[in-house]
């Protein structure tokens, strides 16, 4: 797998990473631990050596899973994790708001290092911007951790352009992680131009639209009761029915290119900028291999022009987050 560089430092990762959240959290019951360990190790064998987790996934169980799976392969992989949520003081499974106070960031780093069974976090993202803590203080706390050798690179997630600029002045930001795909194009307006100017990498999560762009979800699909998509407006049966037009279009294009819809969606992202590294998540080896195959799909300028013209005629309906979660993004 070809490598890509994130940021101005020496953070080099494969063109496609692996989002690990769904192995433990978010899309129904946690998957079998042994199977997920095997999947992550199989990913490394196939050149996927960039793994994304967070303390909030589980909470904590996903970091522990990633740590156990990758400990024997630690020198071959890049592990990204995140800080910034406030845990329930009673030890419950829910998170009660945001907390990016410098002292909390340092506590989270120590706990994440233990769970990940490592001496250094390769990429440490602020999970969501905390309006109660100046971003300069957040960047300064991570700068301290970098100077102490506990963190290698600083990242932000779902941050707005002004926040990115302010953080970057204090500590170089290697990557921004935000949603971006053929059905969520908002970052193109302001975020991507700013990242290009500042030489910051972009790590799109949900590059397959939380599974929708694979073509395997219809208006009749029933999600598990614990599946996050049940509360996402974009995934109501009515919106799924309307949004099927985009999936149909991608599917037709995929047939022409002898690829799958997922591969076209990922190849489109890779073709946007050489510093974009999507992190599709999966719990299945055949899907991992399908996603890896996207790196070999060559989209010509004419292909991209045709996709652009066709998708521009389709309006995607439904918000990507419930209202209370929407307030946490783009600050």
Strands 95-98 and 85-87: antiparallel
Q: Which residues are catalytic?
A: 57
* Structural contact between residues 44 and 79, judged by C-beta atoms closer than 8 angstroms: no
What is the Cα–Cα distance from 137 to 45, expressed in whole angstroms? Answer: 39
Alpha helices (H) in the chain, listed in sequence order: 33-45, 61-70, 102-115, 135-147, 161-170, 191-198, 237-256, 261-272, 285-293, 301-311, 323-326
Residue 179 has φ and ψ, to the nearest 5°, of -70, 140
Q: Return the percent helix, strand and coil in the chain, to nearest 5.
A: 45, 15, 40
What is the Cα–Cα distance from 157 to 82, expressed in whole angstroms? Answer: 9
14 is written with which tokens? Answer: 């494969």
């Amino acid at each position: 797998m070809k490598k890509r560089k994130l940021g101005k430092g020496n953070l080099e990762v494969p063109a496609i990473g692996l989002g690990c959240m769904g192995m433990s959290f978010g899309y129904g019951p946690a998957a079998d631990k042994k199977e997920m360990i095997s999947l992550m190790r199989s990913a490394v064998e196939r050149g996927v050596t960039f793994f994304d987790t967070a303390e909030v996934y589980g909470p904590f169980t996903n970091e522990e899973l990633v740590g156990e799976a990758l400990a024997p392969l630690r020198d071959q992989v890049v592990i990204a994790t995140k800080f910034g949520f406030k845990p329930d003081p009673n030890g419950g499974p829910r998170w009660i708001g945001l907390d990016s106070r410098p002292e909390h960031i340092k506590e989270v780093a120590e706990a994440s290092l233990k769970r990940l069974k490592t001496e250094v976090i390769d990429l440490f993202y602020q999970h969501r911007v905390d309006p109660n803590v100046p971003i300069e203080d957040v960047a300064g706390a991570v700068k301290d951790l970098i100077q102490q050798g506990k963190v290698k690179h600083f990242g932000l997630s779902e941050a707005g352009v002004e926040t990115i600029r302010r953080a970057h002045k204090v500590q170089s930001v290697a990557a921004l992680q935000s949603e971006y795909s053929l059905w969520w194009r908002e970052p193109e307006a302001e975020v991507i131009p700013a990242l290009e100017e500042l030489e910051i990498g972009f790590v799109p999560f949900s590059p397959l639209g939380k599974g929708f762009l694979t073509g395997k979800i219809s208006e009749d699909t029933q999600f598990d009761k614990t599946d996050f998509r049940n509360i996402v407006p974009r995934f109501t049966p009515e919106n799924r029915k309307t949004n099927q037009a985009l999936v149909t279009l991608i599917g037709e294009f995929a047939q022409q290119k002898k690829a799958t819809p997922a591969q076209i969606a990922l190849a489109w992202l890779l073709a946007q900028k050489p510093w974009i590294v999507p992190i599709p998540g999966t719990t299945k080896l055949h899907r991992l291999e399908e996603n890896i195959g996207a790196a070999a799909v060559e989209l010509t300028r004419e292909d991209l022009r045709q996709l652009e013209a066709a998708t521009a005629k389709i309006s995607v309906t439904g918000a990507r987050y419930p209202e209370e979660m929407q307030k946490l993004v783009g600050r």
